Amino acid sequence: MKDHFEILIRSILIRPDKPAVLLLGHFSPQTHQTHGFAGPDHWHNMVAQFYDVPHVSVKSALFPDYMRDPKSIQKYFVDPVLASPSGHELISEILVAYFQRQICTAWSVATGSSYEAPEKGDVAVDAAVEKKMAAMKDRGDSSLSSSSSPQLLTVPSGRINTRPNGNRPFEEIAPFCVSANDLINPLPPSLFYGSGWYAHHPSGSGGDALITAAHYWHSALPTSKLRIPVQVGGGDIGVYYLREPVGVVGEGSSVECWVDDNYAGAKVIENAADIGDAIPTLKMIDHYVGRGSHFVECQLLGEEGQSVPMFKIIGIFAT
């Protein structure tokens, strides 16, 4: 969970237009019932602290009352997860309060009435400090050296698990996805000719057509092989596929997937699971793949000539 969330945040922060990023967290009874206090927000906090990204959450406002009497916060939810109109109003109030505090801090720093260190992730404060430093530079202020210009929006030079003396040099991520749901730039039909794999898209423009998992590449003919080109940056490659209930696919089917000619490193992926509904799932199949163009091959397993339950691939993802 942490790695996937870090990739999301880092991929936004390294964009050339340097967007401002703020995490808006949510708390729900079901999340606490499932994970306890250290829920997904625990990992979100870790990523937020590492990248100096503000993380605003309603958890601190709801948690004490929830622990005292779980029913006391029911008005903020329409079910165990989703916020009600009152819940959304609470989220809004907390977010507004955060921005008001940052505006006051930025004004205090800009006018010289505050000397507290600004938070690196707060763009309003960053802009105020940079403006003040530019004015000092124009005045020829000797106290401002070239080394004192803070890189307020610099992304860390490595990821959370990067070691300074690691055996492998750090490779910056460049997220890339080949999706069956990409209707603007779909895979060319020539990749499917004679492969035993087919592309499925629901009819119409609404309903199921809006669900990512409703678009997939599928095959029920063992030994069918699909070859998909990808661009790799950070070196991780994964396959998004549909895990399906045993009650629907029985023993199910499986594919083995590998990168380029690394067949020895092929990973077997099975689609049958003891679940109630189909679940999109990511399976990493390789790491430390060199930067640049590569291809992923997936072959449906089974005895040739005997059909198996359909295996569905949603897309291929690379960092």
Contact 27, 62 (CB under 8 A): yes
CA distance 211 to 236: 25
Asked if residue 222 has pLDDT above 50, the reply is: yes
Specify which residues 23 forms β-bridges with: 55
The single-letter code of the amino acid at 14 is I
- Tell me what pLDDT residue 183 has: 73
pTM for this model (two decimals):
0.78
- Tell me what pLDDT residue 69 has: 95
Asked if residue 142 has pLDDT above 60, the reply is: no
- Of residues 312, 316, 314, the one with CA closest to residue 219: 312
Contact 71, 80 (CB under 8 A): no
Model confidence over 254-290: pLDDT tens digits?
999 999 999 999 999 999 999 999 999 999 999 999 9
Asked if residue 149 has pLDDT above 50, the reply is: no
Q: Six-digit token pair at 73?
A: 């916060």
- Of residues 117, 101, 107, the one with CA closest to residue 52: 117
CA distance 267 to 265: 6
Q: Burial of 221 by CB count in 10 Å (0-12 exposed, 13-18 middle, 19+ buried)?
A: middle
pLDDT cut 90: percent of the chain above it: 68
**Average pLDDT of the chain?**
87
Asked if residue 130 has pLDDT above 60, the reply is: no
Asked if residue 59 has pLDDT above 90, the reply is: yes
- Taken in order of first residue, the domains within the chain and their CATH numbers are 2-148 (no CATH), 176-318 (2.60.120.260)
- Tell me what pLDDT residue 292 has: 96
Pseudo-torsion of CA 72, 73, 77, 79, nearest 10°? -50
86: part of which helix (H) or strand (E)?
helix 85-110
Q: Six-digit token pair at 161?
A: 């698990």
Instruction: Tell me the mean pLDDT in the region 15-23.
Output: 92
